[in-house]
Every structure is written in C-alpha cells, then in structure tokens.
Amino acid sequence: MSETTITEQTINSLIDDLKDARKRTLELVEDLDEQQIIGPKLDIVNPLLWEIGHTAYFHELWTLRHQDGADPLLENADELYDSISIAHDDRWNLPLLSLDDTRDYMQQVLDAEIDRLKNKKVTAADIYLTRYAIFHEDMHTEAYTYSRRTLDYPAPIFENSVLHDEAYDTGALDGDVVIEGGRFLLGAREDTEFCFDNEKWQHPLEIKTFSMARAATSFQQFAAFVDAGGYQNRKYWDRDGWNWLQQNNLQAPNGWKKDEEGNWLIKEFDLWQPVRPHAAVIHISWYEASAWCRWAQRRLPSEAEWELAASGVPGNINQKRKYPWGEEQPSERHVNMNSRAMRSIDVSALPEGDSAYGCRQMLGNVWEWTADTFKPYPGFVADMYQDYSQPLFGQTKVLRGGAWPTRSRMIRNTWRNYYGAERNDVFAGFRSCAL
C-alpha cells in the first residue's frame, strides 16, 4: 500500500477495527472474578489477566515504540508482557497489575494508537503494523474463547451473537466433489495487501486430481467411529496418536459423555448439551481426525489440495479467489464466524459461501486439519515479528479456514494456522478426501 493510496476511509476503518478488537477482548473477561481472571496453571492456557495485558503491549510495542520511538507507557512492560522472553509457566507468578489498572493501561495504548492515526502522516508501515496488531489481538480473543471452555467458565456474552438462527439448522451434506489437478500456485500473491510471513509467496506445485468431501465431518459421522470402538482399536491410530490416547486415557473426544439413555452430550463452555448430529464436529485433534480417516477409509487433504478446493476455479485453477465464493468480503450469508452462532452449525448451512467446486463452509465454522506438517514456503523470510512462524515449523500441523469464533476480517483462502497434533481444546474439525 503506497502512501498515496492511504485514504481517510482506510484510516477510519482501521480505527473501527482497533475499537472492535478491544471491545471483544473486554467482553471476554468482564464477567470473571479475581480468581477466574488468573485461573489454574495449565500448558494450554495463559492467565487471562496476563494475556489481555500482553495484547495491549503488542500494540504498543509495534505501533508506538517501534514506529515512533516512544517511551513505554509502563516502566516494566517488557518484564511483564514480552511473550518471547517470559516462559509460559512464569506468567502466573508475575507482579501483574490489577484488572482495573490493566484496563487503564489497555485504554492508554488504544487512545495513543488512535491519536497517532488521526494526527500524523500515516505511512504504509503504520497501516501494516496496526493491522498486524489487530489480527494478533483477534487471534488472542479466539484463544480467550477456547480457554473459557477449557476452564469451565460460562459462555461469554457478545453483542453480535444470534444463538438460534433457523438458517443454521439445515441438516447433512454428504458426498464428494471431484477436483481436477494440475500446476497450482500455492500461497499468497506478492501484490496481496496484507498477509503473514508463512503465506509468502505463491509457488508452483503439481496436484493430482482428487475427490474431497463437500462438507466438514459432522458429529454424527464422527460418533459412528467412537461407537464402533475406534478409541479402543490400535489399527486406526499412528504410533504417536496411540501413545497420546493411552497417556490421556481417552475413550471419546474432548468434552463428550453419554447421558442415562446412551445419547451423546458435548460440553459447551460450562454446560452439557445434546449433540446436534449434523453440526460440524469440533474440538478434535489431528490424531483423532487421522484415526477417523483410517476407519472410514478416507484421508486428510494436503494443504495444497485444501487451498485449491477453496480458491481455484474449474478450468483455470490459478484464477485464485480471495474467498471461496469470490472477492466479496465475508458476511453472515457466507460464514459462521465472529462468534455469531456461538457454536459449530450444520454442515449444509450457508450455501452462498460455497467454493467454485461446491465445497461448503471452507471458511468458518471449524478450523480444518490438513495432512501436512507446518513448514516454510520456498525462500521464506521472517517478518518483523520473527517468532510468529519460525519456532513452530516442523513442530505443528497445518489447519485452514477459520472457526466460529475467528474474526472474519483476518481470514482468506491462503491463511495458514498451526497447532500441535495433540490439541483437542481448540476449535478444530476436518473434512476428508477419498483415498
């Protein structure tokens, strides 16, 4: 983005997103007491009081201190909130500010960011770094959301949520689509306005013709595997997956149990709810997704296959769309995102979001595991925040597409997410391909 293209509308839109991201952060913690805002020490969550301060610190570090050379708003901000230098387990033992003082610090940072956007000559670097910080906060608000479920806290209350929309209760969507292969350009184009370092840059590779499920795997489809003894049968699991299963003594997915009549219930935050059979299965690890595929005689897609199915156009697979349906910004007609439904919805809902191949909900509802280990694209160079991608290369698996709490403003077909294969607490499901 050149300086000549930076309009007042661009700046105002960025300010709106700054305010919206912060509003979502505060909505996620405003009902928590002093004990809940710290919470127990677990490997898969942060103390929320630390985490909300850290997101504000990230804004300050990159948009105020990095760009303007400003002094820290908190004298000991680096010692409190630098996630690179502060070990995870130490975050519970820091001399953290009170919740009220943390909110004051967050507001100071926000006010300073908005003031500089309104009152200085804004550069392309300002726009890029502010957007980066917004998306960083968006990723953390998704983490706050799954942390609340992990910690058995009540569901948060969001102003935009519509909990009972009949458009979401549409049933199953079975069957595969055939996607013709060829030479495909994987990754983001160099003229993309914003993307992360791990999406750079598009590069050619050959993809064979394949068949992919039109929809993500549903609760009903996954429950058939559980009920058939899939969690007791070694042949469906790779070595690491079987060891993980045994070490954690799992007989079913995270947050599943049966009621007195033998029907499956799933934990949604602090409540147990009847399974909605045709909703996309969620809180599934890569190990579990892979085991289901072996049982069903299917497989997970490669991330290149996933991106082709989401972005390609039959007859011209490199006429890549930004979103599955085209270039129009995501809306509630296209995606279940932004915590609108507060859960995964039926896999056949939202047909206006279909890709050119007829694959539904490739963005939103649940993150979708792919077969691939997270690796850099050819010629990878780390962005200014050097620890965004590099430490996780070779250690994690790639997910695509976004989930129901993901903010739609940051997602596109080339976005790459990554978690450890064991993570069954995050908002992940999967779709499969024919062998």
Residue 278: the pLDDT is: 98
Tally of domains within the chain: 2
Query: Do the domain assignments include residue 413?
Result: yes
pLDDT at residue 2 greater than cutoff 60: no
Per-chain mean pLDDT for the chain: 96
Tokens for 129, please give them: 């770094």
Counting Cα atoms < 13 Å in the Cβ hemisphere of 349 gives 23
Whole-number Å distance between alpha carbons of 22 and 10: 19
User: Of 1-5, 330-334, 357-361, 429-433, where does mean pLDDT reach its minimum?
Assistant: 1-5
Strand order in the sheet with 298-299: 176-179, 210-213, 433-434, 298-299
Residue 110, SS3? helix
For 90-136, the pLDDT digits (tens) are: 999 999 999 999 999 999 999 999 999 999 999 999 999 999 999 99
Q: Phi and psi at residue 115, in whole multiples of 5°?
A: -60, -45
Q: At CB < 8 A and 24+ separation, what contacts does 108-111 make?
A: 108/73, 109/56, 109/57, 109/59, 109/60, 109/64, 109/73, 110/18, 110/19, 110/22, 110/56, 110/59
Rg, the chain, Cα only = 22
Domain with residue 208: its CATH number is 3.90.1580.10
Query: Do the domain assignments include residue 14?
Result: yes
Residues 76 and 208 in one domain: no
Among candidate residues 150, 183, 202, the one where a domain is terminated:
150
Question: Is 230 in contact with 236 (CB distance < 8 Å)?
Answer: yes
For 335-389, the pLDDT digits (tens) are: 999 999 999 999 999 999 999 999 999 999 999 999 999 999 999 999 988 899 9
Strand order in the sheet with 256-258: 256-258, 264-268, 271-274
Residues 146 and 181 in one domain: no
Angle formed by the axes of helices 124-150 and 8-27, nearest 10°: 20
By DSSP bridging, strand 210-213 and strand 417-419 are unpaired
List the domain range (segments joined by +) for residue 287.
166-218+283-434
Query: Do the domain assignments include residue 264?
Result: no
Residue 384: the pLDDT is: 87
Mean pLDDT over 188-205 rounds to: 96
Residue 287: the pLDDT is: 98
Query: Do the domain assignments include residue 318?
Result: yes
Query: Do the domain assignments include residue 11?
Result: yes
Whole-number Å distance between alpha carbons of 415 and 432: 19
Tokens for 79, please give them: 């010692």
Query: Do the domain assignments include residue 270?
Result: no
Residues 115 and 185 in one domain: no
Query: Do the domain assignments include residue 349?
Result: yes
Taking Cα atoms as reference points, which of 156, 120, 124, 155 lies closest to residue 27? 156
Query: Do the domain assignments include residue 243?
Result: no
State the pLDDT confidence band at 428, using cuts at 50, 70 and 90.
very high
Mean pLDDT over 388-392 rounds to: 95
User: Of 4-13, 114-123, 228-237, where does mean pLDDT reach its minimum?
Assistant: 4-13
Domain with residue 127: its CATH number is 1.20.120.450
For 297-321, the pLDDT digits (tens) are: 999 999 999 999 999 999 999 899 9
Residues 74 and 123 in one domain: yes
